[in-house]
A and B are shown apart, each in its own frame.
Chain A
Amino acid sequence: MSLARLWQRWTGYWFRPAPLLTLDVCRVLIVGNQLWELLGRYGFITSRAGLPEALYDPLPVFRLLTLPWGWNGWSSLLEGPWLYRPSAALVDWLFMLAVAVGVTALIGVYTRASLMAFALGSLLLQALAYSFGDHHHPEALTIITVALLALSPAGRTLSVDAWHQRRTWLTARSPMAGWPLATVQWLFAIVYLSAAGSKLAVAGWDWMNGFTLQYHLAVDATHNGVGLGLWLSRQHALVQALSWMTILFEATFFLVLLMPRLRWVYLPLGAAFHIGIYFAMHAPFFPWVVLYAAFIPWASVAGFRRRVS
């Protein structure tokens, strides 16, 4: 295949005109959720300011974002002592600033600039919180998504910007409106496939023996005081069936990219999967359920007709 043909197919996939309304519905849902999550993590993030210096080991992305202040030689970019740690007061200010730009990104005031500032603020604060020895999984995909939205024509329909410019083109489409949501869909496919691959590579088919998931359920449920998880950890046959469902779901989720109609099967399953995990183990993956918005053709659902921007 010639390079020109390859480029044509590439752009045909990523840059085919897509509804701006779909992009903005996703913006509102995803930014709203990230704002809600950020507010909920205020205590977690700000309490880190009081942790001992010995635990402070900034993530590389935090070092990169604070490069001019913390530079301690080339090797320090990845690990080792870093010369900058923000004070508790500064973390408070940054938090308030991030919330402020989160609100403007949500309602669509200087939408793209607000989205970029919100993505950077969320990235900086969350990276700081994870610079003390532990890190967790639920927030990362949302932060990446907000950054992708900042590079898109988000804010041209459902926003104060659009209302102010009197250009509320609810039916408009743009070649640049589809790629951020398509990228999020691909990210999900990679993440789920790698999660299944990771289990199968380490444990093989034995991962579905029931005892494995019984153990993980029992440990998390005990630490988090979850009655449902403890009860479930004693139901061998049921947990074995859930183990198979988990692997099948994760390993085949990518099929949604090939056959988009499958989203109506996989998205409810995924939502039930993550909500079930929360009630059984208290692993809070609600943001992922909100990110599923990227799979839904909101403009078609709302019945708007085509108009190319």
Chain B
Amino acid sequence: MTRAPAATWGQAAVSAVILGVLGLQAVAASASVEKRLWPFMNYPMYRRVLYDGQLVNRFVVVGRQDDGREVVLAPLDGHENYWLFFRTFIRPVIALEDNSADAAARRHVTAYCAAYREHYGRTLTDLRLENHPSRITRRGLQPAEPSVIGVLSVAPEPAGAS
């Protein structure tokens, strides 16, 4: 019985690595694995299709402070990335508005309100979700009529309340 040379075993091991890497990338690219296989990812950016005259939503959250002042809420320190802000605050507020929020969405909104209090020294009492849509045209995006989707009360419960 002849034994395989060491070079063959080396090639077999490297072949397993090649197949593993390309296999993981193929799975990540073709299946909905989100970020579970990161750094192997899918690349579906900009795939949403849009048409002439279509309205595109742009959501804005306006916060009412405990001093009555209203402010358009924006990323805080550490939330410097808009998409992080959108995913961890705007989207959860939308979910709370249409009653599809899960525990994580509630946690994210609570965390933002706490961070806001810490950052600005003011407590948010209400969050007003507004839509400032645009219409797609040959000349680019044109602003359309804004609307209020709803108002959420986020005032903290008074100390000692059950």
Contact = CB atoms under 8 A, between A and B. Distances in A.
Interface stretch (A66-74, A109-117, A204-212, A261-269): A204-212
B83 to A, nearest CB: 5
Interface in A250-289: 283
Nearest to B83: A134
Given A10-B15, A54-B107, A176-B14, A207 B47 contact: yes
A207 B49 contact: yes
Interface in B115-152: 115, 134, 136, 138-141
A216 B45 CA distance: 10
Contacts of B17: 148, 151
Contact of B14 (A55, A179, A212): A179
A194 B42 contact: yes
Interface residues on B, range: 35 or more
B36 A78 contact: yes
Contacts of A53: 111
A148 B82 contact: no
Nearest to A122: B39
A23 interface: no
A52 B54 CA distance: 37
A90 interface: no
Contact of A234 (B21, B54, B111, B139): B139
A10 to B, nearest CB: 7
A255 B49 CA distance: 27
B18 interface: yes
A280 to B, nearest CB: 12
A145 to B, nearest CB: 10
Contacts of A139: 39
A48 interface: yes
B51 A206 contact: yes
Contacts of B49: 202-204, 206-207, 209, 212
Contacts of B29: 190-191, 193-194
Contact of B48 (A140, A197, A203): A203
A226 to B, nearest CB: 13
- Helix, strand, loop or mixed for chain A's interface? helix
B122 to A, nearest CB: 18
B39 A213 contact: no
A148 B25 CA distance: 14
Contacts of A216: 46, 48
Nearest to A10: B15
A135 interface: yes
Interface of B: 7, 10-11, 14-15, 17-18, 21-22, 25-26, 29-30, 35-52, 54, 56, 77-84, 87-88, 104, 107-108, 110-111, 114-115, 134, 136, 138-141
Interface of A: 10-11, 14-15, 44, 47-48, 50-55, 57, 59-61, 78, 123, 126-127, 130, 132-135, 137, 139-141, 143-144, 148, 151, 175-176, 179, 183, 186-187, 190-191, 193-195, 197-199, 201-204, 206-207, 209-216, 218-219, 223, 230, 233-234, 236, 283
18 contacts: A55-B108, A55-B111, A78-B36, A134-B84, A137-B41, A137-B45, A140-B41, A175-B11, A183-B22, A190-B29, A198-B44, A212-B46, A212-B49, A214-B50, A216-B48, A218-B134, A234-B139, A236-B138
